[in-house]
Chain A
Amino acid sequence: MSDNFRLDKGGLINRNKKISFKFNGKKYFGYEGDTIASALLANGVHLIGRSFKYHRPRGFFGAGVDEPYAIVQMNRNNEVDPNVRATEQELFEGLEAKSVNCWPNVNFDIGAINNFLNKFFPAGFYYKTFMWPKSFWYKIYEPIIRKAAGFGAASIKHDKERYEHKYEYCDLLIAGTGPSGLASAYAAAQNGARVILAEDKSRFGGSLLTSEVTIGNQSGQEWAEQIISELKSMPNVIVKNRSQVFGYYDHNMLVMSERVSDHLPKTDKYTPKQRLWYIRAKEVVISSGSIERPLVFGNNDTPGVMLSSAAKEYIKVYGVLVGKKPIVFTNNDSGYETAIEFKKNGVDPIVLDTRKDADSEIIKEAKELNINIKFSYVVVAAKGYKKVNSADIAKISDDKKVISNVENIKCDCICVSGFWTPTIHLASQSGNKTKFNEEIDAFVPSHSKQKETTLGSANGVFTLEENLKTSFEKGSELSKKITNKENKVSIPTVVEKKSSKHDKFWCVPLPEGKNYKRFLDFQNDVAVSDIQLALREGYRSIEHVKRYTTLGMATDQGKTSNLNGLQLVSEVENKVVPQVGHTTFRPPYTPVSIGAIVGREVGKHSKPTRKSPMHYWHEKNNAVFVDAGVWLRPRYYKQGSENLFVASKREAKNVRQNVGVCDVTTLGKIDIKGPDAAEFLNRVYTNAWLKLPVGKARYGVMLREDGIVMDDGTTTRISENHYHMTTTTAQAANVLSHLEYYLQLVWPELNVNVVSSTEQWAGAAIAGPKSRDVLQKLFPDLDVSNEGLPFMGYMEGNLFGVNAKIFRISFSGELAYEVNVESDHGNFMWEKIMEIGKEFNIQPYGTEALSTLRIEMGHVAGSELDGRTIPYDNSLEGLVSKKKDFIGKRSLSKKAYLEPDRQKVVGVVPLDKKTSIPEGSYIVKDAKAKLPNPKLGHVSASCWSVEYDNPFHLQLLKTEKI
């Protein structure tokens, strides 16, 4: 059955472009400019999903971001998009969407059994269920609930779409392009301010798209179009549609999500799917409008029950009738505007007005159109399961307590209007202390904490004339403060119909003997009875009631339910709403896709990748790389079918027997200069530095103030006042900050400068008994003999025309040197070393062999200097000066650091000479002892000794206990 509910004319859709799409596998047609919702409604489809808890049939409730029901799962360009609001998703050719939260399908949904078992699903269901026998939860509830619950399923595949982040700065950010947003943006732009104007929908104009008003000599919609096109032509204005400002953070930073390509069948090359904007604004104007409040009555979640403003929007924007026998149920004049639209399009509505009598220009117009109006009337309950087919209506007494004359009338939709709730989410997020406005029964912004101004109906003002005037003035005033320019804008005259006062009534009492479910939160299935139960069970704070019942905690963030929930709590508690207060609004205002939050920082872009200048040589020579912080380092060089174990053993052996070369570019390097450099190093390192001669290097250990070893490395005195410090790869940045801290804040009197030079130098470590032979051939003019370049010696040389620094330092216990050249010459140096080393059987070695060599030597590194050990634990106490003071020294006399049973680094060889113990293993005295089995230490490093051909480990161990 596919009735046609599309009007012959009208709406803002492009009737020349027909679009086909699929919903739940069935093919439908719509037009360009439709949303999934409007196109389905045009086809008479109202059943879109199942509710979260009871799996009751659900239809469309709104026409925009407030939609609680119509969440679909999309398939776009072979990518899955869960949690898409059908009321926002624009139609494109070939679109495929399906219902969520129903299994096996939307028409036959097994979860609907929950509806009949609803006594078992009261408020706090999840909390209470956890109290039941555990096995019940694991075996029965959890698997079924998992299968039947949730709003769609995310793909487990990598998302191929591209998402971007953008940073912007502006004078005024204006959220919302209704009359207030447009007027304030226009006035600010005229004053030369940098303006960003954001609209979450595809069309600009907000309420002007659906209201019957005149501004100047134009209709509201024409005026909006003209202002937008003028703003778009101005260089100081950025105008964005499909862009939701969803978060207001500290110091006027707002985040906006732009759906760049979601309305297209696929994302164009070089454009992202979505873009996240981080906007730092000097002033923010919140013109986010207001959302109609539902009226609460029996079965008010039945498909076909929807907001009256949504019904009007479907007619005026999409040319779609949501029904042909509508009931409009209202407590204010807005319902009449919807009724008038129905009537103008040839449909006879019935208006049920909760008010005893009311009169205004709008009501007069409705009467003139012969619309059937019943005052003091309410809908008691909607009837029909998958779609409304009739309604029980009744007369209500003046005190709104008693209903009488219940009768059933046929209808195919019920359009409800319970007045308007200002959208104060952004203002509240900004820290604005909101206040309750009795006039409109809703909260409005009050005292700003940040530079933010709320205008229009978001501020609780509902007359266009007043809003335009205030917004032009505010836009001008805010921008003038920033630009010091003023170009007066004349405020146009406005023709609009005046409204009468709304009725505070919002919840229809249950008729005698009936137990209808009356829903407050449509997305999380929270009914009036759930709140009443929570209050009976002793919950008082609105924050607790919210968490216990899950009211307002769904993905729609309670846009349509919050206030009615508060009204109910205040009624039961006999308090006024402001006493109850509202729950905290937190970002995001609407769901934001994870992809947009992550942006381009995925895969290899999730962190920077640093490569040494010799990287491509390593690559060409079959290096297998390993991540070392953000660096990529060769772990081993694969020959033939070698694996890690075999290759690293070969490389390490070759260092012990011949000579090897290792890329050590990644070591942190810090250039230290100044007359007080020696004194500074003397305070930073634990050992003595004042007497280090020029041309010599020294190994040093530095501590934090709490006595823990921070880093180690060698530092070389290049000249009288110039030192070259090396740090471990991992600690390079921390050490630099540490040095800067002491120089800038603690000892500013020291005349020393430090700067990172890690990137400036490429380094190669040449190690092994034949390393001197290689070095001599690299620098034929230098005396590199044991006397000419002794242990820990330093000299400068000329490597075939390239300046080089030569250090005689060893990490492996072998005779070894490190040669540094400027980075640009790194590859040249490396190739020369390989070429010259050939006759000495030189082989490159990677980090695995490097580790093996240092573990064999018992040389501590990052896995022992792990942020928990003091010099003693690493047997480095010999490097701790007793004569001088240094950073962290005072802590070393702490009682805990002097305990005899501290874990200490020891070398361990298994008795069977075969069994290797993995790094990280815990050491206990007896593996079979009862728990808790005290830990004596752990394996910090593990290798296969090439020297003795057996496993070898370093452990941090409580040796006293063994």
Chain B
Amino acid sequence: MLYIKCPHCGLRPQTEFSYGGDATVKRPELNKEISDQDWDNFVYLRKSPRGKHLELWQHISGCRQWIKVERDTLTHEIFTTLKANENI
């Protein structure tokens, strides 16, 4: 079970969080033209890297904040955690 440092609350067990996927995906802006291909990529296409991965978790049983976690998908090592508005 992972031990995740919520930037708002501190170290908490994985059971308090829910997983939110790739944190580098940016939602296309509203009211802007976008090709079918680009939209499909946004909705469906995700990388599945072996190694470092910046991902979203929500501290659902805590502060309810969405946070960013840089984690190694192979070793589960967590390098850093960030608030929603922070970037590496």
A binds B: yes
Query: When the two chains form their complex, are residues A744 and B1 in contact, meaning their CB atoms are under 8 A apart?
Result: no
Known: A705-B42, A705-B43, A745-B56. A252 touches B20 (CB 8 A): no
Those of A278-298 within 8 Å (CB) of chain B: 278, 280
Tell me the smallest distance from the CB of A880 to a CB of chain B, in Å: 15
Cβ-defined contact, B34 with A744, below 8 A: no
Total of A-B residue pairs, C-beta within 8 Å: 56
Q: Determine the residue in chain B with the shortest Cβ distance to A737.
A: B58
CB neighbours of B85 from chain A (8 A): 748
Question: Closest A-chain residue to B13, C-beta based?
Answer: A280
Instruction: Name which residue of chain A comes closest to B68, CB basis.
Output: A745
Interface string of B1-39 (1 = CB under 8 A from A): 111000000000100001010000001101100101001
A141 interface hit (Cβ, 8 Å): no
Give chain A interface residues in 300-342, CB to chain B under 8 Å.
none
For window 422-452 of A, CB contacts with B under 8 Å fall at: 431, 449
Q: Give A26 to B27 CA distance when docked, in angstroms.
A: 74
Shortest beta-carbon distance, A194 to chain B, in Å?
A: 15
Contact B66 A740 (CB under 8 A): yes
CB of A249 within 8 A of CB of B43, answer no
- The bracket for how many chain A residues form the interface is 20 to 34
B84 contacts A250, C-beta separation under 8 Å: no
Distance A688 CA – B64 CA, assembled complex (angstroms): 28
Report yes or no: B18 in contact with A250, Cβ–Cβ below 8 A.
no
Chain A residue nearest in CB terms to B60: A737
Contacts of A167 in B (CB 8 A): 13
Complex formed: what's the CA distance from A120 to B54 in Å?
Answer: 55
- CB–CB B2/A251 < 8 A: yes
- Is the Cβ of B84 less than 8 Å from the Cβ of A748? yes
Contact assessment for B1 and A251 in the assembled complex, using a CB-CB cutoff below 8 Å: yes
A894–B42 alpha-carbon span in the complex (Å): 14
Closest to A705 in B: B43
B76 touches A (CB below 8 Å):
yes
Closest beta carbon of chain A to B16's beta carbon, Å: 12
Contacts of A126 in B (CB 8 A): none
List the A residue with the shortest CB-CB distance to B4.
A251
B32 to chain A, nearest CB (A): 8
Could you tell me if A449 and B75 are in contact, using CB atoms closer than 8 angstroms?
Answer: yes
Chain A window 737-755, contacts with chain B (Cβ cutoff 8 Å), 1 for yes, 0 for no: 1001100111010000000
Bound Cα distance A861, B76 (Å):
40
> What residue in chain B is nearest A167 (Cβ atoms)?
B13
The contact of A885 among B30, B42, B66, by CB within 8 Å, is B30
Asked whether A741 and B20 contact (CB < 8 A) given A746-B27, A891-B39, the answer is: yes
Q: Tell yes or no: A575 within 8 A of B by CB.
A: no
A→B interface (CB under 8 Å): 167, 249-253, 278, 280, 431, 449, 683, 705-706, 733, 737, 740-741, 744-746, 748, 884-886, 890-891, 894
Q: Which residues of B contact A (CB under 8 A)?
A: 1-3, 13, 18, 20, 27-28, 30-31, 34, 36, 39, 42-44, 56, 58, 60, 64-66, 75-76, 78, 84-85
What would 14 more interface pairs be, CB under 8 Å, given A251-B1, A705-B27, A737-B60?
A167-B13, A253-B3, A449-B75, A683-B30, A705-B42, A705-B43, A706-B44, A740-B66, A741-B20, A741-B66, A746-B27, A884-B31, A890-B34, A891-B39
Q: What would 24 A/B residue contacts be, using CB atoms closer than 8 Å?
A: A250-B2, A251-B76, A251-B78, A253-B3, A280-B13, A431-B75, A683-B30, A705-B27, A706-B43, A706-B44, A737-B58, A737-B60, A740-B58, A740-B64, A741-B58, A744-B65, A746-B27, A748-B85, A884-B31, A890-B28, A890-B34, A890-B39, A891-B43, A894-B36
The 6 closest A-B pairs by CB, nearest first: A251-B3, A885-B30, A250-B76, A744-B84, A885-B31, A744-B66
